[in-house]
Structure 1
Amino acid sequence: MGSGNSRELPRPESSGAKSSGATRRTAVGLILGAPLLGACAGVQQSLSQFSSPSAAGPAGPPQEPLAVGKGQVKVGLLLPLSASGNAGVAAQSMKNAAEMALAEFQNPNIQLLIKDDAGSPQGAQQGTQQALDEGAEIILGPLFALSVPATAQLTRARGVSVIAFSTDSSVAGRGVYLLSFLPESDVNRIIEYATSTGKRSYAALLPENAYGNVVEATFKQVVGRKGGRIVAFEKYGADRAGPARTVAQALGSADALFLADDGDSLVTVADALTAAGANLKNIQLLGTGLWDNPRVFASPALQGGLYAAPDPSGFRSFSGRYRAKYGADPVRTATLAYDAVALVAALARTQGPQRFSPEVLTNPSGFAGIDGLFRFRADGSNERGLAVMRVASSGGAPVAGSPKSFGA
């Protein structure tokens, strides 16, 4: 890795993995630029944010299909470019990032077929059909969970893989892989880290919503797997005071308190616990990537809490290059589009005719992207190599780095 103004452009790289017996398939590394200074935004979107488009309807007319690049390997990219509100803004930023990846990759042999799915299943189906008819060998996107099955119905009939950007694991499956920040990875990383530091008894206070339900299932699973016990578990809706009192009364027998909500809500939950008599300075607070938020860093009650998130240096570097090219900050999910395009460009160069097969995409060694190591599971979900960060008034401070490789 370079430093200062120098940076390495992404390039495919083979790395041998230690093995006893047969040679394992090599990982494809996407080597990214050196860290640049810059702010790191919140990393994980709640399930609801990108599960369905805005109810306000499309913000504008559908955008015309666009082909970018002159390579022989055609790749479909579905984004809700004409959707309203945050969805359309995110889509434009992801489109920019995808084109940036193509520009930074050295002589990629791919052509991006960019389709506006308008944030609807019908739009996704139409865009997918167009891309397949034009020869797409793999589809990147859609963003919304509701649109993924519409795409998958067409791609499975053709034996074409999909790398979608939804955070809803329920839409993953045969031939449909999610390149997104899944809550399951956060929970696994932070509980495994807490266990490694001697924590055995856990209390938890989680939101009663789709995100909270996913986090709950993984939390209970990983605590059990690591031999821990749950001494108190509550969920809250509009009323936080009652569940907070129940949890606060049980903290005397807990080593750690697990909270999983976004910035404003998390601060409100911490205030409710404090009002119920909990001394949060006397227990180790644990959280997810949603904690990567200025409101959390500014909260006195949450100082010293630990959460799992990608190492922020990769996003800082990416943001610096994006700003230099487009004159604006990227949305946090823009790295997903960048990594997806860089990944398919690397596989097109190194993996021959089987480049986008399930066997190649589910390589257990994984891939290295802007946000660190990731790999696709056979069920279509993913696993990320995350860092452990500590809440400080100046922002998140690394406590344990992200892994350099996935264990056996």
Structure 2
Amino acid sequence: MPAEHRSRTILRFLAIGCVSLMLASCLGGTDRGTAGGGFSAPTGTVTSQPLDAIDGGQPQQTQGAQAKAVLILPLSASGGAGAAARSMKNAGEMALSEFKGTSLQLVVKDDLGTPQGAAQAAQEAVSEGAQIILGPLFAQGVAAAGQVAKQSNIPVLAFSTDASAAASGVYLLSFLPQSDVERIVSYSVKNGKRSFAAILPEDAYGSVVEGAFQEAVARNGGRVVGLERYKAGDQGAMKAAVSRIAQSASGIDAILVPDQAPAIAGMLQSSGVDLKRITLLGTGVWDDPQTLNSPALAGGLYAGPDSAGWANFSQRYQARFGEAPVRTATLAYDAVLLAAALTQAQGVAGLGTQALTASSGFKGIDGIFRLKPTGLNDRGLAVMKVQPGGAQVVSPAQGSFSVAGL
């Protein structure tokens, strides 16, 4: 993940009744055409079934041979990474316990937060007969584990947000900055915004966002009229970047501020920029209390998953473990439940590339997602507006990948 400080900005999140996880896929190998398995769980925890069943199909329960999934996390890493890993481990084990009747066996391994540890854990997974590897968390670890897994044709479902870690057979389940940027830009253009600017940090995350921003604006028929970078952590450089954007504010409809949004919004106001006329735009990085409670960001828009699934998951997690989960815990939960559901539907064959990359996708805690053959993913994201008392959904997340443009 860029600069290893974004796992859906994991260090920032430490410092993204009954929930349905409808694992919708072409479980038989064609888009929505063949029936998959019908998945069940105890009332009040999790239910799961293919979209085919929801649309009127008759799912059949099929119990396959036992399969093994290995979950690789930096459990003994220091600081926030280790704490996040332990929360994700809990979430993965919770997923398996809530999904009844699965033949999946889950084994958890510690990669020590290093590429060498990830490679060793992956090698152990191969030697022990794993059919799928879930994790690692960090991009270098994903690359190391993926190299080992590929030699044995074992798929990897990883949690890094660094798109460079993706490859055929190495799939990223995480929230990718590119998806956030595309969603918020396309929504803005559809609602009358044409001239865009951006204020971005000079780090790996900022570079990824810059590329996605330039592409998204061009693809949606807008134009970039200003783009400034600042050295991360340098307040003087940040003020200078803001000042340059403020000088051309009269020709700007919207400004993308993915990081340090409260501070930058305050600087823009102090520079005389009318934030009632110009809309501030953000990514899922905004989805934390400090950002959402900033008066300067009131009226700003950002893309991210609908919070309903997260809220319900958090309640169940806290009731089980006595503490709140980290925001990235849903990734581990969805990864384990996906493996369990596909195994129940098709046995070991369900963990192959064809089922994992079903174009109709799956629905998890944070909404719909699908894994691309390239290793990247698509996600259905909502657009939220920052309001006093919390964010309000102004454009709901898509419910399926039959929606045009997805």
The TM-score range, normalised by the shorter chain, is 0.7 to 0.9
Aligned to 2:111: 117
Partner of 1:257: 255
Residue 151 of structure 2 is matched in structure 1 by 157
Specify every segment of 5 or more residues in structure 2 that has no aligned partner in the other structure, as ranges: 1-16, 46-64
Deviation of 1:325 after TM superposition, in Å, equals 0.6
Task: For 1:188 and 1:241, locate their aligned partners in 2 and report how far apart those are by CA, in whole Å.
Answer: 27
Q: CA deviation at 1:11?
A: 6.7
Contact 2:172/2:371 (8 A) holds in 1:
yes
Change in CA separation of 1:251 and 1:165 when aligned onto 2, cut-off 3 Å = same
Please give the secondary structure, in 2, of the residue aligned with 1:346.
Answer: helix
Correspondence for 1:285? 280
Match status 1:127 vs 2:118: no
User: Helix, strand or coil for the counterpart of 1:227?
Assistant: coil
How many Å apart are 1:269 and its aligned residue?
1.1
- Letter of the 2:268 partner, please give it: L
Q: Using the alignment, how far apart are the partners of 1:95 and 1:152 within structure 2?
A: 20
> 2:383·2:395 contact (CA, 8 Å) conserved in 1?
yes
User: Structure 1's 24 and 13: CA in aligned 2 closer, same or farther, altered over 3 A?
Assistant: closer
C-alpha displacement of 1:24: 4.6
The residue aligned with 1:7 is 18
Deviation at 1:223, TM superposition (A): 0.7
Once the two structures are superposed, residues 208-248 of structure 1 have per-residue CA deviations (whole angstroms, 9 ceiling, x without a partner) of 11111111101100110111111111111221122111111
The verdict on how the C-alpha distance between 1:82 and 1:281 changes in structure 2, with shifts beyond 3 A counting, is same
Whether 1:315 and 2:310 are equivalent positions in the alignment is: yes
Quote the offset at 1:204 in angstroms. 1.3
Quick one: distance in 2 between partners of 1:156 and 1:128?
Answer: 10
Among residues 363, 371, 383, which one is paired with 2:366 in the alignment?
371
Within 5 A, what are the aligned runs for 1:135-146?
Answer: 135-146=129-140
For 1:288 and 1:80, locate their aligned partners in 2 and report how far apart those are by CA, in whole Å. 26
2:95 is the counterpart of 1:101: yes
Structure 2 match to 1:269: 264
Q: Does 1:402 align with 2:400?
A: no
Q: Does 1:306 align with 2:304?
A: no
Q: Which residue of 1 aligns with 2:219?
A: 225
- Does the CA contact (< 8 Å) of 1:27 and 1:366 recur in 2? no
* 1:211 maps to amino acid: Y
Indicate which of 234, 242, 245 corresponds to 1:244. 242
Partners of 2:335 and 2:77 lie apart in 1 by 21
Secondary structure of the 2:276 match is helix
1:393 and 1:31 map into 2 onto residues whose CA distance is: 39
Q: Conserved in 1, the CA contact under 8 Å of 2:87 and 2:329?
A: yes
Partner of 1:49: none
SS where residue 205 of structure 1 aligns?
A: strand
Instruction: Show structure 1 runs of 5+ residues with no match.
Output: 1-5, 36-70
Query: Matched residues in 1 for 2:283 and 2:129: separation?
Result: 40
TM-score, structure 2 normalization:
0.84
Distance (Å, rounded) in 2 between the aligned partners of 1:374 and 1:31: 20
Q: What secondary structure does 1:240 align onto? A: helix
- Letter of the 1:260 counterpart: P
Shift of 1:150: 1.4
1:29 and 1:324 map into 2 onto residues whose CA distance is 27
Of 84, 88, 106, 1:90 maps to: 84
Letter in 2 for 1:361: L
Equivalent position amino acid for 2:201 in 1 = P
Alignment of 1:39-118 (within 5 A): 72-118=66-112
Structure 1 pair 242–28 and aligned structure 2 pair: CA distance change class (3 A): farther
Q: Measure, in 1, the Cα distance between the counterparts of 2:315 and 2:365.
A: 13
Following the alignment from structure 2 to structure 1, what is the Cα–Cα distance between the partners of residues 22 and 175? 23
Deviation at 1:88, TM superposition (A): 0.9
3-state SS of 1:132 partner: helix
TM-align CA RMSD: 2.4
TM-score after normalising by structure 1? 0.83
Amino acid of the structure 1 residue aligned with 2:248 = A
Q: Indicate the larger mover: 279-288 or 97-106.
A: 279-288
Partner of 2:105, secondary structure, is: strand
Check the 8 A contact 2:23/2:361 in 1, yes or no.
Answer: no
Q: Mark the CA change 1:34 to 1:399 in structure 2 (over 3 Å): closer, same or farther.
A: farther
* Aligned mates of 1:29, 1:365 — CA distance in 2: 17
The change in CA–CA distance for 1:31 and 1:188 in structure 2 (over 3 A counts) is farther
- Structure 1 pair 219–330 and aligned structure 2 pair: CA distance change class (3 A): same
Partner Cα distance (2:277, 2:198) in 1: 15
| Conserved 8 A contact 1:281-1:301 | no
User: What is the one-letter code of the residue matched to 2:161?
Assistant: T
Given that 2:199 and 2:256 are in contact with CA atoms closer than 8 Å, whether structure 1 keeps it comes out as: yes
Q: Matched residues in 1 for 2:313 and 2:354: separation?
A: 29
User: Does the 8 A contact of 1:201 with 1:228 survive in 2?
Assistant: yes
Note the C-alpha offset of 1:353: 4.6
**Partners of 2:38 and 2:201 in 1: CA distance:** 37
SS at match of 1:231: strand
Sort the Cα spacing of 1:9 and 1:371 in 2 relative to 1 into closer, same or farther, 3 A.
closer
How far does residue 275 in structure 1 lie from its aligned partner after superposition? 2.4
1:358 Cα deviation after fit:
1.9
- Deviation, structure 1 residue 276: 2.2
The number of residue pairs the alignment matches comes to: 362
Q: Could you tell me how far 1:30 is from its partner in structure 2?
A: 8.3
Residues 1:24 and 1:227: Cα distance change in structure 2 (over 3 Å): farther
